[in-house]
């Protein structure tokens, strides 16, 4: 071989070898990048110790696009032995999730996790100006002060007892009418009743159950559209470049909905203003009156008032209706428990010669245990309502969690953990009577369906008061039994964890005669 040919051959070989080496190196680096513990978003984290200290699946998950992400994440935490804390990625969003009470409490009570991540849909639907998603700061503290002092105080909750009881009895009458024709689809009645209850407390308005095209049905459509938009898995939340395009049409639908919300809620606020100006009666009959009566330091603008009131309608309707449906599904399946509950209610209402009232609830420990056990097995917000945002670098246990990380608690995993609960899959309300009592108000993370810490649900006491009374009224007035089909306890996580197939059953009226 001539020197020229030798040089040409080996230079070409070196060039090919270098290109092959570079390609292989790039491939290995890319694979290693995507296979990093915690996945794609964690691989971008600057400090290498952050990438490897928290166990978790590699790659980028699309877990929130499935129907049961709480179950998927619970299984992954068990697989990676990461119940205290697991890292994972969704697109370029970094997540950690805890499936253990001690670590969960550390996250939820830490000032480092005082913010919430705001999805595009939540922002567009005004919730960044309401209590649930407002950034941690003076505005949020003012909203919190208003809610605890004026909106959800024990006195205010007690003042709405007549409203709760009246709507509960309206639902009883509606169910009697429907039951005469066959099976009852529970969710339809309870959801409209729950919406009516919220409207009465928030706006002082009430609607006819049989009204077809009135304000009640219009508002129900607005709320349903909002539920769907907030529950959609939006890729734009996790891939920043997609925010320019609105491929899923979420932004367009949100803006159309907000326009209707502003008109509807704004109109009710204006009616209240006119009424206040034309009368000397300064009594605060509903939440709009309360907000309009706030003094200078606490006073809200009209746009912020709309956001706060819209969130109340939204949150108050969803959780109560879904929880009552789950309780009644369990009563259909567990006739012995239903009979025991009816017996307890009869014992405090003079053998059902008078309707149940709020004052009876403290004397009904079994009713409270039934609701508590339902919350344990079917927590309405097993994941999504728990999201927090790290506002600065923070240690959770031995692990460093960088600023901007979304932290979650898998309450469903905790409430189904055999190391915490005896026979966790069994529906047994007696566990809260015979054994250790567990508070559900946020202090005990073994069962905290309303959250804990700074972002605990402010309306939890009012929600529980409503659920206890309505469940009691349903059991006092009906025997709930199966129809031709079995009760399907399959679940689907949308905005809340709902029954995948709405409960359809028979409601047999009891022979009660109130004096």
Binding-site residues for heme sit at 457
Residue numbering of the annotated binding site: 457
Helices (H) and strands (E) in the chain — how many of each?
Answer: 19, 11
CA dihedral 430, 431, 437, 443 (to 10 degrees): -120
Token readout for 396 is 């959770």
3-state DSSP: the chain helix, strand, coil percent, rounded to 5?
55, 10, 35
The answer to whether 384 and 65 are in contact (CB under 8 A) is no
In the block, tokens 């939006």 appear at 234
In angstroms, rounded to a whole number, what is the distance separating the alpha carbons of residues 93 and 81?
22
In the block, tokens 């606020």 appear at 269
DSSP character string of 1-18: --HHHHHHHHHHHHHHHH
- Non-local CB neighbours of 54 within 8 Å, separated by 6+ positions: 37, 38, 42, 82, 85, 86, 87, 96, 399, 401
Residue closest to 505 by CA, chosen among 298, 355, 326: 326
In angstroms, rounded to a whole number, what is the distance separating the alpha carbons of residues 33 and 35?
6
Give, in degrees to the nearest 5, the angle at Cα 313 between 254 and 146. Answer: 110
Largest CA distance in the chain: 117
The answer to whether 57 and 63 are in contact (CB under 8 A) is no
- Separation in Å, CA 147 to CA 131, 132, 443, 460, 498: 9, 12, 20, 11, 27
Residue closest to 480 by CA, chosen among 369, 322, 335: 335
């Amino acid at each position: 071989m001539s020197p020229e040919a030798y040089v040409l051959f080996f230079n070409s070989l070196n060039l090919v070898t270098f290109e092959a080496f570079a390609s292989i190196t790039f491939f290995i680096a890319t694979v290693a990048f995507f296979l990093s513990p915690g996945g794609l978003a964690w691989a971008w984290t600057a400090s290498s110790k952050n990438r490897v200290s928290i166990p978790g699946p590699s790659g980028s998950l699309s877990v929130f696009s499935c129907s049961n992400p709480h179950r998927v994440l619970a299984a992954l935490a068990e697989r990676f032995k990461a119940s205290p804390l697991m890292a994972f990625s969704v697109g370029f969003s970094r997540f950690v999730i805890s499936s253990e009470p001690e670590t969960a409490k550390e996250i939820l009570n830490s000032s480092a996790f005082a913010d919430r991540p705001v999805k595009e849909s939540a922002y567009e639907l005004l919730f960044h100006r309401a209590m649930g998603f407002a950034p941690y700061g003076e505005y949020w503290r003012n909203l919190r002060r208003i809610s605890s002092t004026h909106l959800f105080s024990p006195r205010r909750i007690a003042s709405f007892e007549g409203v709760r009881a009246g709507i509960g009895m309206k639902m009883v009458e509606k169910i009697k009418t429907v039951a005469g024709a066959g099976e009852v689809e529970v969710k339809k009645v309870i959801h409209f009743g729950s919406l009516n209850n919220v409207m009465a407390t928030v706006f002082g308005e009430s609607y006819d159950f049989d009204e077809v095209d009135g304000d009640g049905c219009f508002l129900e459509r607005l709320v349903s559209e909002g539920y769907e938009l907030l529950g959609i898995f939006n890729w734009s939340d996790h891939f920043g470049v997609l925010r320019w395009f609105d491929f899923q049409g979420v932004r367009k639908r949100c803006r159309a909905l907000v326009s209707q919300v502003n008109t509807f809620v704004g109109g009710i606020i204006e009616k209240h203003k006119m009424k206040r100006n034309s009368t000397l009666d300064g009594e605060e009959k509903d939440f709009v009156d309360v907000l309009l009566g706030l003094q200078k330091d606490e006073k809200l603008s009209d746009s912020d008032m709309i956001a706060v009131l819209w969130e109340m309608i939204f949150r108050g309707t969803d959780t109560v209706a879904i929880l009552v449906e789950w309780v009644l599904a369990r009563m259909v399946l567990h006739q012995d428990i239903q009979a025991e509950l009816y017996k307890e209610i009869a014992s405090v209402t003079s053998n059902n010669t008078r309707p149940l009232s709020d004052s009876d609830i403290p004397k009904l420990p079994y009713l409270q245990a039934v609701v508590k056990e339902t919350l344990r097995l079917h927590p309405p917000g097993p994941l999504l309502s728990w999201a927090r945002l790290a506002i600065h670098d923070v240690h959770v246990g031995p692990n460093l969690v960088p600023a901007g990380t979304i932290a979650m608690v898998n309450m469903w995993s905790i409430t189904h953990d055999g190391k915490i609960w005896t026979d966790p899959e069994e529906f047994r309300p007696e566990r809260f009577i015979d054994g250790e009592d567990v508070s559900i108000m946020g202090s005990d993370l073994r069962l905290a369906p309303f959250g804990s810490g700074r972002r605990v649900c402010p309306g939890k006491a009012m929600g529980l008061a409503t659920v206890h009374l309505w469940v009691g009224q349903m059991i006092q007035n009906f025997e709930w039994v199966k129809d031709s089909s079995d009760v399907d306890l399959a679940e689907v996580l949308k905005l809340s964890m709902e029954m995948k197939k709405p409960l359809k059953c028979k409601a047999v009226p009891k022979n009660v005669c109130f004096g």
